[in-house]
Structure 1
Amino acid sequence: MNNKNNLIDLDKKHFIHPTSPIKQQQEQGAKSVIAEGEGIYLKDVDGKTFIDAISSLWNVNVGHGRKELAYAAQEQMSKLAFSSAFSTFSHEPAILLAEKIAEIAPDDLNAVFFTSGGSESNDSAFKLAHHYWKLKGEPKRHKFIARKKAYHGVAAASTNATGISEFREMGGLHVSNFVHVETPYEISTSEAVASIRDMIEREGPETIAAFLAEPVQGAGGVIIPPRDYFQEVRKLCDEYGILFIADEVITGFGRTGKMFGLEHWQVTPDMMTFAKGVTSGYIPLGGVVVSDSIHQVLKERSTGTLFHGFTYSGHPTAAAVALKNIEIIENEQLVQNSQAMCKVLLKGFQKIKEDIDIVGDVRTLGLLGAVEIVKNPETNERFSSEVNAAPKVIDALHERGVICRSVTFGGTDIICFAPPLTINEAQVNDIVERLHDAITEVREAILV
Structure 2
Amino acid sequence: MDTDNTPFPTEAALDAARESGRRAYELDRAHVFHSWSAQAQLKPMTILGAAGSYVWDGDGNRLLDFSSQMVNTNIGHQHPKVVAAIAEQANKLCTVAPAHVNDARSEAARLITERTPGDLDKIFFTNGGADAVEHAVRMARLHTGRRKVLTRFRSYHGGTDTAINMTGDPRRWPNDYGAAGVVHFFGPFLYRTEFHSTDQQQESERALAHLESVVAMEGPQTIAAIVLEPVPGTAGIMVPPPGYLEGVRALCDRHGIVMIADEVMAGFGRTGKWFSINHSGVTPDLITFAKGVNSGYVPLGGVAINGEIAATFADRPYPGGLTYSGHPLATAAAVATINAMTDEGIVDNAARIGAEVLGPGLEKLAEFHPSVGEVRGVGVFWAVELVKNPHTREPLAPYGGSSAAMSEVLGACKKGGLLPFANFNRIHMVPPCNVSDSEVAAGLEILDSALAVADTFVD
Paired AA for residue 187 in structure 2: T
User: After superposition, what is the alpha-carbon deviation per residue over 1:149-193, rounded to whole angstroms, capped at 9, x for unaligned?
Assistant: 1100001110111011x3223335653310100011133112211
Per the TM alignment, residue 360 of structure 1 is displaced from its structure 2 partner at its CA by: 1.1
Q: Describe how 1:299-338 pairs up with structure 2 within 5 A.
A: 299=314, 302-303=315-316, 305-338=317-350
> Which residue, out of 114, 121, 127, partners 1:103?
114
Are residues 7 and 315 of structure 1, via their aligned partners in 2, closer, same or farther at CA, if it must alter by over 3 Å?
Answer: closer
CA distance in 2 between counterparts of 1:6 and 1:93 reads: 36
Offset of 1:400 from its aligned partner? Answer: 1.2
| Contact 1:168/1:174 (<8 A) preserved | no
| Aligned counterpart, 2:282 | 267
Q: Are residue 85 (structure 1) and residue 87 (structure 2) matched? A: no
Residue 345 in 1 paired to residue 368 in 2? Answer: no
Contact 2:151 2:226 in 1 (8 A): yes
What TM-score does the superposition give when structure 2 sets the normalisation length?
Answer: 0.89
Compared with structure 1, are the counterparts of its residues 428 and 21 closer, same or farther at alpha carbon in structure 2 (3 Å cutoff)? farther
Kindly tell me: are residues 273 and 429 of structure 1, through their superposed partners in 2, closer, same or farther at Cα, counting changes over 3 Å? same
Contact 1:390 1:415 in 2 (8 A): no
TM-score, normalised to structure 1's length? 0.91
Q: Which residue is 2:196 aligned to?
A: none
Equivalent-residue separation in structure 2 for 1:94 and 1:6 (angstroms): 37
State the Cα deviation string for residues 332-351 of structure 1 (Å, max 9, x = none).
10111001100211111111
Preserved CA contact (<8 Å) 1:143 1:210: yes
Tell me how far apart the structure 1 counterparts of residues 397 and 86 of structure 2 sit (CA, whole Å): 48
Query: 2: CA distance between counterparts of 1:13 and 1:129?
Result: 43
Per-residue CA deviation, residues 310-329 of structure 1 (Å, 9 max, x unaligned), is 11101111111100000010
Note closer, same or farther for the CA distance 1:190–1:447 as it changes in structure 2 (3 Å cut): closer
Q: Distance in 2 between matches of 1:168 and 1:118?
A: 16
Unaligned runs of 5+ in 2: 1-15, 194-202
Q: State the identity %.
A: 35
SS at match of 1:145: strand
CA 1:383–1:54 in 2, change beyond 3 Å: closer, same or farther?
closer
Structure 1 alignment gaps of length 5 or more:
134-138
Asked if the contact 2:269/2:433 (under 8 Å) is kept, the reply is: yes
CA contact (8 A) 2:294 2:337 kept: yes
Q: 1:176 aligns with which of 167, 180, 185?
A: 180
Identify the residue that residue 156 of structure 1 maps to in structure 2: 161
Residue 289 of structure 1 aligns to a residue whose secondary structure is strand
Match of 2:446 in 1: 434
Distance 2:239 2:179 in 1: 28
Aligned ranges for residues 8-407 of structure 1 at < 5 Å?
Answer: 8-25=25-42, 29-30=43-44, 32-86=45-99, 89-133=100-144, 139=145, 141-164=146-169, 166-172=170-176, 174-186=178-190, 187=193, 188-299=203-314, 302-303=315-316, 305-343=317-355, 344-383=357-396, 385=398, 387-407=403-423
Task: State the match for 2:435 in structure 1.
Answer: 423
Aligned residues: CA RMSD = 1.7
Deviation sequence 1:235-291 (CA, Å, 0-9, x none): 111111111000000111111011100000111100000000001010000000011
**How far off its partner does 1:387 sit?**
4.8
Check conservation: 1:345, 1:364, Cα contact below 8 A: no
Go from structure 1 to structure 2 and tell me whether the alpha carbon gap of 1:248 and 1:310 turns closer, same or farther (over 3 Å shift): same
Measure how far apart 1:24 and its partner are: 1.7
| Alignment partners' CA distance in 2, 1:267 and 1:322 | 25
8 Å contact from structure 1 (residues 396, 442) kept in 2: no
Structure 2 residue identity aligned to 1:115: T
How far apart, CA to CA, are the structure 2 residues paired with 1:3 and 1:182?
47
After TM superposition, give the deviation of residue 221 of structure 1 in Å.
Answer: 1.2
The answer to whether the 8 A contact 1:116-1:287 is kept is yes
Cα deviation digits, residues 282-305 of structure 1 (max 9, x gap): 000000001112112321xx33x4
Q: Give the letter aligned to residue 97 of structure 1.
A: A
Structure 1 equivalent of residue 13 of structure 2: none
Match of 1:136 in 2: none
